[in-house]
Amino acid sequence: MAEIQKVAVIGESNIKRVAVIGSGVMGAGIAAHVANAGIPVVLLDIVPEGAANRNVIAEGAVAKLLKADPAAFMSKKAAKLVTTGNTEDNLDLLADCDWIVEAVIERLDIKQALYKKIDANRKKGSAVSSNTSTIPLAKLVEGQSDDFAKDFCITHFFNPPRYMRLLELVAGDKSRKDMLADLTRFCDYKLGKSVVPCKDRPGFIANRLGTLWIKAAVVEAFEQGVGVEEADAVMGKSFGFPKTGVFGLMDLVGLDLMPHVEASMVSLLPKADLYHSIAKDTPLLRKMIEDGYTGRKGKGGFYRLNREGGGKVKETISLKTGAYRPQVKADLEILKETKGDLKALLSSQDLAGRYAWKVMSRTLIYAATLAGEVSDDIASIDEAMRLGYAWTFGPFELIDKIGAAWFAEQAAKDGLEVPKFLKDTGDKTFYRIENGKREYLGLDQKYHTLARPEGVVMLADIKLTSQPLLKNGSAAVWDIGDGVACFEFTSKMNALDPDILGLIGKAVGLVAKQFKALVIYNEGSNFSAGANLGLAAFAANIAQWDLLEQMVSGGQDAYRALKYAPFPVVSAPSGLALGGGCEILLHSDAVQAHAESYIGLVECGVGLVPGWGGCKEMLNRWSTLGRLPKGPMPAVGKAFEIISTATVAKSAAEAKEYLFLRPTDGVTMNRYRLLADAKAKALELAQNYTPPEPPEYVLPGPSGTAGLEIVVDSFHRRGLATKHDVVVSGALARVLTGGEKADPTKKLSETDVLALERKEFMQLLKNPSTLARIETVLETGKPLRN
């Protein structure tokens, strides 16, 4: 199957219209995500008996999608691309579709019958795929036409389809290579998925291993008498698993899902499979499901919020008694002691260590048996677990951390059958870096280059083979080829600090001399959540006002240097781009944003106003691009509304609605392709580049300030704005309206507005209520409404 990847996947896909049949959680989510890509999509479901509205199920699904949290649609516009219908009256709509996704109930007879209908209505050569997670492809195509089998494959999405980046692709013997390539192209570029080819085996890759991991974690917790919180603490951050742990994860996905998955695994897997020896019955689980404790969607799960008597008590179920008791934070010394040393943790003889060993030994041994079984390359297995189960490290990466030889030896001692592949690996590692190239260990025990999909440029790869052009403790500048330099944040959480600002200044000088363009980009999970608030709060607490003032003006200077540099600057965010992170985007010539970018000026939330040019840029954008009524006030009002409420756009598409992004800014669906797209954009702009002219501002002055204050006061009176909100909004209003001396007949310069930002920012930073907000955010991650 690996050859799918070798098929050229670069370029436009032929898929221009899609149909999804089955509007359950997965089908509807897939349809929404196709719409997110700007592709029209038909969503069909059955007609319920006696229904007046024959489309009621599909329509209801779209209504639900619009309310989903996290949102399924990236913008309201996307929702308009979904056409709903039913499978009795609207199969004719399939004739226009290039790809038909089946996501109906997991029953072979129903699916097979549906395929006949699809085959009769679809256009010739269109791709058909199933989102099944339990039924083998070979069974699905039984009795179908030869053409159907050629055009058919399995595309297994993960829930929720918008956010989970894994797509498992299973091809049948007859599946057309060009169809697979085109589908891969579409899912990669348009849907932003990492397409991992799998063999036609039960559970494919991620669920096959993930299910065993969950089952082992649950069963061993019962057997060894480990509490739910402790089990989740062990199966959490230490191994790079999501912090929910296994029990928390089950609460999230629903406990009732498990018996279905288990039953299908048990029925499909060969007798000798390790799964059978792990999958012991857990009566408490059965009882919980029967009693409606199915997790967060039900009355609660392993954890619940007990609201009896009007209170809110966090409780946890006791695995021993089945009764709920108050939740206790697991405080396991061993996790602190071993601190990421997995070998030490797994060797520890205390309860947590023994539990960790029992679960992880089985999980990782199983992973090793799956090499060759579900996929021929371990890199695919690791990728599937990273993207499908949100593991930070795939199973083979974990074994590398533990040491393959030691692990195999211990597993054998524990009576586990060590698969040949692992035995043969011996002292070797599964991954290595050789001559600046990443390599993985093949089933042949030889190392092979770990190739990225075509056209993908990753900074991580560039860093393996080169030295930074500039570097300090918080940032680095890299040569990414073709005359383009890349500015990377490297500080903790990519927080912006004086070091970063300093390096921006240096980078501008360097790029001006030696490069055509600059891309601001990094491969952290967030572009930047803003300035280093801890540093700012600390400096404020020790009254280091000069230093803080320097930080504010230093940021303004650095960002203006980017804006007016003699070369184009393209920022490429993914994840959070907040506060100072957002202001960088606002000062860039263009932005190439990952679709999953969450952009906003959130300073007011922590009791501040944007101080690095965010106010002036938003004013300028809304007055030039805003399509607003004439006069100085509408743009001021719009910027005020967006900034004072600390609005964060929940996608790149939404960011355009707020003008955090310009209509001309680019959006990349696939995270892996972001840098390549940004670089291309930068090179395009570099032809005949001239820096922008500084804007001039016509601002309303005190009358405008008063107008905004009236609005805020009424919010305050209605309890919608707190006491300190009024103070902060007042400061913001003074900045956006040009301050006391502004008057609509006089033009203000950019530096005038920047001076106002600085003044109000510094004033607020001295306010104890602002410092209390910052402290609360730093310590709890939650806003303080004071």
Considering only residues 262, 376, 743, 775, which one is a binding residue for another protein as defined by CB under 8 A? Answer: 775
Considering only residues 433, 451, 543, 720, which one is a binding residue for another protein as defined by CB under 8 A? Answer: 543
Distance CA 375, CA 201 (A): 9
| CB of 537 or CB of 643, closer to another protein | 537
Q: Can residue 328 be called a binding residue for another protein (CB under 8 A)?
A: no
Piece of the chain touching another protein by CB under 8 A; list 28-36, 141-149, 306-314, 538-546: 538-546
Nearest approach, Cβ of 315 to another protein (angstroms)? Answer: 20
Nearest approach, Cβ of 474 to another protein (angstroms)? Answer: 12
Q: Can residue 696 be called a binding residue for another protein (CB under 8 A)?
A: no
Nearest approach, Cβ of 494 to another protein (angstroms)? Answer: 17
| CB of 539 or CB of 586, closer to another protein | 539
Q: Count of residues binding another protein (CB under 8 A)?
A: 20
Q: Can residue 539 be called a binding residue for another protein (CB under 8 A)?
A: yes
Piece of the chain touching another protein by CB under 8 A; list 32-40, 130-138, 368-376, 532-540: 532-540
Piece of the chain touching another protein by CB under 8 A; list 18-26, 405-413, 539-547, 579-587: 539-547
Piece of the chain touching another protein by CB under 8 A; list 383-391, 630-638, 667-675, 773-781: 773-781
| CB of 375 or CB of 474, closer to another protein | 474
What Å distances lie between residue 345 and 233, 277, 332, 355, 382, CA to CA?
13, 24, 11, 10, 22
Nearest alpha carbon to residue 218 among 236, 242, 245, 237: 245
Nearest approach, Cβ of 537 to another protein (angstroms)? Answer: 4
Instruction: Identify residues 587-606 at the interface with another protein (CB under 8 A).
Output: none
Q: Are 7 and 180 in contact (CB under 8 A)?
A: yes
Nearest approach, Cβ of 286 to another protein (angstroms)? Answer: 33
Tell me the pairing of strands 470-471 and 666-668.
unpaired
| CB of 178 or CB of 779, closer to another protein | 779
Q: Can residue 779 be called a binding residue for another protein (CB under 8 A)?
A: yes
Nearest approach, Cβ of 543 to another protein (angstroms)? Answer: 4
Distance CA 119, CA 131 (A): 17
Nearest approach, Cβ of 532 to another protein (angstroms)? Answer: 11
Q: Can residue 763 be called a binding residue for another protein (CB under 8 A)?
A: no
Q: Can residue 706 be called a binding residue for another protein (CB under 8 A)?
A: no
Q: Can residue 339 be called a binding residue for another protein (CB under 8 A)?
A: no
Respond yes or no on whether the N-terminal peptide bond of residue 326 is cis (omega within 30° of 0).
no
| CB of 69 or CB of 546, closer to another protein | 546
Q: For residue 375, give the DSSP letter.
A: B
Distance CA 540, CA 756 (A): 19
| CB of 212 or CB of 536, closer to another protein | 536
Q: Can residue 537 be called a binding residue for another protein (CB under 8 A)?
A: yes
Q: Are 153 and 204 in contact (CB under 8 A)?
A: no
| CB of 266 or CB of 543, closer to another protein | 543
Nearest approach, Cβ of 457 to another protein (angstroms)? Answer: 32
Q: Are 137 and 172 in contact (CB under 8 A)?
A: yes
Encoded amino acid at 731, one letter: A
Q: Can residue 534 be called a binding residue for another protein (CB under 8 A)?
A: yes
Distance CA 591, CA 259 (A): 46
Q: Can residue 723 be called a binding residue for another protein (CB under 8 A)?
A: no
Nearest approach, Cβ of 77 to another protein (angstroms)? Answer: 41
Residue-by-residue DSSP string for 392-413? SS-HHHHHHHH-HHHHHHHHHH
Nearest approach, Cβ of 545 to another protein (angstroms)? Answer: 7
Tokens 């679709």, located at residue: 595
Distance CA 754, CA 762 (A): 12
Instruction: Identify residues 205-264 at the interface with another protein (CB under 8 A).
Output: none
CB < 8 Å & 24+ apart, contacts of 259-262: 259/286, 259/289, 260/106, 260/134, 261/133, 261/134, 261/203, 261/207, 261/211, 262/211, 262/215
Piece of the chain touching another protein by CB under 8 A; list 30-38, 229-237, 384-392, 770-778: 770-778
Tokens 């801890």, located at residue: 534
What Å distances lie between residue 563 and 508, 560, 592, 716, 761, CA to CA?
10, 5, 16, 37, 22
Considering only residues 66, 322, 538, 747, which one is a binding residue for another protein as defined by CB under 8 A? Answer: 538
Residues near 703 by beta carbon (within 8 Å), at least 6 away in sequence: none
Distance CA 763, CA 545 (A): 10
Task: Give me 10's structure tokens.
Answer: 């670069």
Q: Can residue 778 be called a binding residue for another protein (CB under 8 A)?
A: yes
Q: Are 543 and 596 in contact (CB under 8 A)?
A: no
Considering only residues 124, 312, 336, 542, which one is a binding residue for another protein as defined by CB under 8 A? Answer: 542
Q: Can residue 785 be called a binding residue for another protein (CB under 8 A)?
A: no
Q: Can residue 541 be called a binding residue for another protein (CB under 8 A)?
A: yes
Q: Can residue 709 be called a binding residue for another protein (CB under 8 A)?
A: no
Distance CA 22, CA 785 (A): 44
Nearest approach, Cβ of 550 to another protein (angstroms)? Answer: 12
* Number of alpha carbons in the 13 Å side-chain half-sphere of residue 84: 21
Nearest alpha carbon to residue 700 among 613, 637, 645: 637
Q: Can residue 451 be called a binding residue for another protein (CB under 8 A)?
A: no
Q: Can residue 531 be called a binding residue for another protein (CB under 8 A)?
A: no
Piece of the chain touching another protein by CB under 8 A; list 120-128, 422-430, 585-593, 771-779: 771-779
- Compute and round to an integer the Cα radius of gyration of the chain: 28
Distance CA 153, CA 157 (A): 13
Residues near 149 by beta carbon (within 8 Å), at least 6 away in sequence: 141, 172, 174, 175
| CB of 465 or CB of 541, closer to another protein | 541
| CB of 388 or CB of 579, closer to another protein | 579
Considering only residues 547, 711, 726, 762, which one is a binding residue for another protein as defined by CB under 8 A? Answer: 547
Measured in residues, the chain has a length of 786
| CB of 181 or CB of 771, closer to another protein | 771
Q: Can residue 340 be called a binding residue for another protein (CB under 8 A)?
A: no
Q: Can residue 482 be called a binding residue for another protein (CB under 8 A)?
A: no
Q: Can residue 323 be called a binding residue for another protein (CB under 8 A)?
A: no
Considering only residues 545, 691, 703, 747, which one is a binding residue for another protein as defined by CB under 8 A? Answer: 545
Q: Can residue 331 be called a binding residue for another protein (CB under 8 A)?
A: yes
Q: Are 574 and 674 in contact (CB under 8 A)?
A: yes
Task: Give me 151's structure tokens.
Answer: 């055009």
Q: Which residues bind another protein (CB under 8 A)?
A: 331, 333, 533-534, 537-545, 547, 768, 771, 774-775, 778-779
